[in-house]
Structure 1
């Protein structure tokens, strides 16, 4: 039959390898790292686990085997991601960003770039090689990246400029929030994929490209951001001050189309973020169910026998199942359509992350005030769940706008996803919602 939710032996193996790593390696460092007040030190406490993930083929499992990666399908990737996210989604985000940084090299890079960059990523004897992806920029007026495709002149939208000077590009400007970019020591990842404006005379979606900034590039500094959730992954500010990179570090196929790279990247990461929410909600649900089976709250029998507790946990369990299979559907669609899924990826990410944020809080209500005690994990689950709707493009900032842009397109088929039909995402679908749209007044209203 065409629809079968039974995992193949290979898929089950991927799931079990990730579960073993998450429960027996990662879990040993999570509590200490999460409680470490210094964000860089917190990240550094995960390094031994990362090295082990590298050795087990997890850290670069999403890259093609041709260039040394694990060759995982997107379905296999999210099977593994759920297991890791159930223990800590911040660590999983570190691994995810390796893909956000290097998959565009696979999509659009030259053969030399693929061999040089992906080959280095997958053949590091230390097991600590890491990549960063930098699109987000600081807030301000103008500034920020949520409306990066506003069709207005520069400096609105993406503000980091890359001016060609002979056989180099010179970068100036700031990025804010990108993950992994500072590396293990705050001095830079091994390589960072940076979305820049290669044509500063243009604004909006025009003149954007992606370049590779390698560790040790002069004129690049990093400031680590202290966030309340995802503490095991590092977010940073990057400052470029006349940073000079080789012209051949431009990802050739992205020239003038960095906007489409951003949308394609966040499409790929949509079901990964969705399954991360599944993992955290699963952990909260299992903890709340265990609590309800044993805690009486002074009653003659455990709480699970109270109708309201059973109903609430039953609803949470149903939401987890529904979101898990939506993530499987989205990942399968992306596998089927050349790593494109701009519509379904955005729909999946917004729906799952918001649905399951509420589910985590429902679990806390079942446990009651004891869920606020830090000796339990519920406060961490809540902090982690609160990050999902606001990161990875932001549900309000970029994800819903991508859906709106597709739906507003005259040629959109509303049954496309049901029929597994390819939905192309084009520049015509961008810019929607980024400026006030004023309807022309009819003569009767003048």
Structure 2
């Protein structure tokens, strides 16, 4: 949809696509098998500013809007969704700091990302996923510092993060109003990485538990005010769901690209399967779904950049784009037939 992009955003999209093709795609299969993030490529992406697009210029970032970031998320996911997740997870961790952090907190986190570091957003726990109010991690205030104890799970970038945004209960009996957020640096005594998840897909982003055993952080590591952590988490997610939708659109587009190329070269009964109407119908439906998903994503990005954050519409875009990506990747496997289940071909990943 180049006609609705500004010249600046079109240039960002083209540069991100070139980087993805030159740097991400060539290492995708190797690191997918390993289940690791190609850190050298990540650092190169950071050096080009892809991890700091939305960081204000006063802190060293590009000071661009959501639209620029979702274009990068989409193009990176088109090359490898896992790598895009690793980049966007750092953006996610930065968001609550930008929303509620002090100038010093913002500068610390910004410096980390600009220099190739990672961030992790630590909300989910074994017994608290969508029900964020059920978290058990606690933070006890004592002698001018907080002592944090708990376990977080499914945390993206956990093994490599330079900082963690940790949500914990400062008032255990106050429900969501007792949750606070903290900036915790890597290397704090008592902070360790637990089980690494061996995922079926999205394997270029690492996912693991974060264990906090009486981790002491100074009082000035609190993000915002006590008891405002849940609200901060919701504000953050309202503003970052769209990156998930954009990554789904990129993944979906890759499924289309691969399917079209294969259908043109796979010959049965003397002609390419692209000539079969059944295949044409599948490809048409894949394109329809992805165009609709992309339209939703771009519409919501424009709304956010105009100051009109619509949490419902962002959730709509994320849901529709994710479902479109799931169906398109399933259809891609069917078009590839038996080869669709082989690691030799990319659609398996």
- TM-score bin, normalised by smaller chain: over 0.9
Give the number of the structure whose residues are more often strand, by fraction.
Answer: 2
1:129 matched to 2:117? The reply is yes
Give the conservation status (yes or no) of the 8 Å contact 2:73–2:247: yes
Q: Distance between the aligned counterparts of 1:237 and 1:119, measured in 2?
A: 25
Tell me what 1:279 maps to.
250
Give the conservation status (yes or no) of the 8 Å contact 2:242–2:317: yes
1:296 matched to 2:267? The reply is yes
Q: Distance between the aligned counterparts of 1:352 and 1:270, measured in 2?
A: 11
- CA gap of 1:301–1:120, structure 2 versus 1, over 3 A, is closer
The structure showing larger relative contact order (alpha-carbon pairs under 8 Å, at least 6 residues apart) is 2
- CA gap of 1:30–1:246, structure 2 versus 1, over 3 A, is same
Q: Distance between the aligned counterparts of 1:306 and 1:117, measured in 2?
A: 53
Tell me what 2:202 maps to.
230
Q: Distance between the aligned counterparts of 1:137 and 1:6, measured in 2?
A: 40
1:2-401 mapped onto 2 (5 Å cutoff): 5-36=3-34, 39=35, 42-43=36-37, 46-122=38-114, 124=115, 128-138=116-126, 143-149=127-133, 157-183=134-160, 189-203=161-175, 205-223=176-194, 224-253=196-225, 255-297=226-268, 299-337=269-307, 340-380=309-349
Structure 1 residue 118, shift from structure 2 partner: 2.1
Which structure's CA Rg is the greater one?
A: 1
Structure 1 residue 112, shift from structure 2 partner: 2.4
Q: Deviations over 1:209-256 (max 9, x none)?
A: 110111111111112222221111111111111111111000124x31
Q: Distance between the aligned counterparts of 1:119 and 1:283, measured in 2?
A: 33
Q: How many residues align?
A: 348
Structure 1 length-normalised TM:
0.75
Q: Distance between the aligned counterparts of 1:367 and 1:216, measured in 2?
A: 47
Q: Deviations over 1:174-231 (max 9, x none)?
A: 1111111221xxxxx211111111112322x121111011111111111222222111
Give ranges in structure 1 of 5+ residues lacking alignment. 150-156, 184-188, 381-446
Q: Distance between the aligned counterparts of 1:286 and 1:35, measured in 2?
A: 22
Structure 2 length-normalised TM:
0.95
Give the conservation status (yes or no) of the 8 Å contact 2:164–2:183: yes
Q: Distance between the aligned counterparts of 1:281 and 1:4, measured in 2?
A: 18
Q: Distance between the aligned counterparts of 1:273 and 1:129, measured in 2?
A: 21
Note the aligned Cα RMSD (angstroms). Answer: 1.7
Give the conservation status (yes or no) of the 8 Å contact 2:96–2:233: no
Q: Distance between the aligned counterparts of 2:252 and 2:43, measured in 1?
A: 27
Structure 1 residue 5, shift from structure 2 partner: 4.0
Give the conservation status (yes or no) of the 8 Å contact 2:51–2:113: no
